[in-house]
Amino acid sequence: MSHKLNQWQMLLLTISFLVGSSLLLAPNLTSFYSRQDAWLSMIIALAAGLILNGLWIYLLSKYQYQSIFVIAEKAVGKWIGGLISLLIVFYALHLCSYVVRNVSNFMISSVLPDTNAWTFQIMLIIVSLYSCYYGLNNIARVNEFLNPIMGVLFLVSLLLTLNRFELHNLKPFLEQPPRSILQGAYTTTGFPFIEVILLGTVFTYVSKKKNLMRTYLMAIAISGLILLITIIIVIGVDGYYLVSRNTFPTFELMRAINIVKLLERIEVLIGAVWIVGIFVKIVVCFYAGMMGLQHLSKHHRYRTFLLPAGLWVWAMTNHVHSNTMEFTDFVAKNWTLWWFTLYLILIVVMLIGIIRKKHKPAEC
């Protein structure tokens, strides 16, 4: 079981984690509040994400990119550090359950409506557990192979919609009040720009950590740019009214692509791109949770916890929210504050460790 990564793999993992689950959902969540000014909300969210993650990785660099579980224990002691590690595990598996539920919601509402949601949930969890079983390097290499292919498919899909792009759908510029624009930015700051702190469990396995901060922030900037372009094109083609009322507006955008009866059902491509990104995000969530449980139990490997964690995630998947509207409402109103709470706790813990001079690596 190998966990070694290079910086290129780290960059692609970060992009997949950020763009994966946001690709279909971010336009809806952002435009619901800021309407045609959703692009400005995304710029503000990206700026906030870069600032928050810049501080996050700067503090991690002070600890030489050790695992966040080790950092918590060193900074505030075994017992409090253990509680914080348990909190991170819960957040990771809770996010995992939400992402799995997103996939099943998408499949039964847009692709195969007559299929039981459990089918997609169980299949996705099993494949993710299998990938996690063989270590972080396994998913990094799979992602390294698939990411460029998925990127090309996504780019081609967007280009095929440009013939229907209307600039007037983005006008009038800056019509919405600052409060609405900031509300749209608030929603997408937590989803996905704060969630990515879970990759703090991964940095320790990057083989060469020089310039790791730059690589990480570059990946966030690239992801934000991808989401920004997506929002501009989706609203430019369909208008904010339709985008704000479709749960998966990017997918719906692709339904209308039809080139001389040869290229039809292009939305399947964007669905594949989204599911691959979500698969990577689920594996990273499982991995973060398993590393936390391994650290807490002092076990020599985390494979023992995979099956119980998978069953728990599946059970939670069907109880996190009753329907898609309830999910969207919770994410829009509470998700950023929910994740910022964990972010703030970890920042305070690392600052305490630095004040107590606990940020130096233990001597071998």
Q: Let me know if residue 38 belongs to a domain.
A: yes
pLDDT of residue 57: 95
CATH number of the domain enclosing 140: 1.20.1740.10
Contact 96, 289 (CB under 8 A): yes
Output b/e per residue, 145-176; b: 16+ Cβ within 10 A.
ebbeebbebbeebbebbeeeeeeebbeeeeeb
Is there a domain that residue 56 lies in?
yes
- Tens of pLDDT along 302-333? 989 999 999 999 999 988 887 777 877 888 88
Is the model more confident about 257 or about 61? 61
Query: Residue 20 pLDDT > 90, yes or no?
Result: no
State the distance between the two ends of the chain, measured CA to CA, in whole angstroms: 23
Residue with tokens 């083989």: 207
- pLDDT tens track for 237-272: 888 888 888 888 888 777 766 665 555 666 676 777
pLDDT digits (tens, 9 = 90+) for 220-235: 999 999 999 999 999 9
Over range 75-100, report the average pLDDT.
94
Residue 361 lies in a domain: no
Residue type, 259: I
For residues 348 and 114, the model is more confident at 348
In tens, the pLDDT along 21-48 reads 788 888 888 988 899 999 999 999 999 9
Peptide bond into 172 cis (omega under 30): yes
What was the pLDDT predicted at 344?
97
> What is the reported pLDDT for 261?
58
**Residue 276 scores a pLDDT above 90:** no
pLDDT averaged over the chain?
88
Q: What pLDDT does residue 91 have?
A: 96
The answer as to whether 41 is a domain residue is yes
pLDDT the model gives residue 122: 93
Q: Which residue has the higher pLDDT, 156 or 181?
A: 181
**Residue 157 has what pLDDT?**
80
Q: Which residues form the domain of 157?
A: 7-355
CA 149, distance to chain mean position in Å, is: 19
* pLDDT beyond 80 at 66: yes
Q: What is the pLDDT of residues 282-307, one digit of tens each?
A: 999 999 999 999 999 988 889 899 99
Query: Is it true that the peptide bond before 192 is cis, omega within 30 degrees of 0?
Result: yes
88-101 pLDDT, tens digit each: 999 999 999 999 99
pLDDT digits (tens, 9 = 90+) for 183-223: 999 989 998 999 999 998 999 999 888 899 999 999 999 99
% of the chain exceeding 90 in pLDDT: 52
Q: Please write down the HEC assignment for all residues of the chain.
A: CCCCECHHHHHHHHHHHHHHHHCCCHHHHHHHHHHHHHHHHHHHHHHHHHHHHHHHHHHHHHCCCCCHHHHHHHHHCHHHHHHHHHHHHHHHHHHHHHHHHHHHHHHHHHHCCCCCHHHHHHHHHHHHHHHHHCCHHHHHHHHHHHHHHHHHHHHHHHHCCHHHCCHHHHCCCCCCCHHHHHHHHHHHHHHHHHHHHHHHHCHHHECCCCCHHHHHHHHHHHHHHHHHHHHHHHHHHHHHHHHCCCCCHHHHHHHCCCECCCECCCHHHHHHHHHHHHHHHHHHHHHHHHHHHHHHHCCCCCHHHHHHHHHHHHHHHCCCCCCHHHHHHHHHHHHHHHHHHHHHHHHHHHHHHHHCCCCCCCCC
Helices 78-106 and 306-317: angle between axes, nearest 10 degrees: 50
Inside any domain, residue 364: no
**Average pLDDT in the 131-157 region?**
87
Q: What is the pLDDT of residue 324?
A: 74
Domain for residue 46, yes or no? yes
C-alpha Rg value of the chain to the nearest Å: 20
Looking at the domain assignment, is residue 363 inside a domain?
A: no
What is the structure's pLDDT at 209?
87
Q: What is the pTM of this model?
A: 0.92
- Please count the structural domains in the chain: 1
Q: Quote the pLDDT of residue 364.
A: 32
- Quick check: is 360 in a domain? no
pLDDT at 362: 54
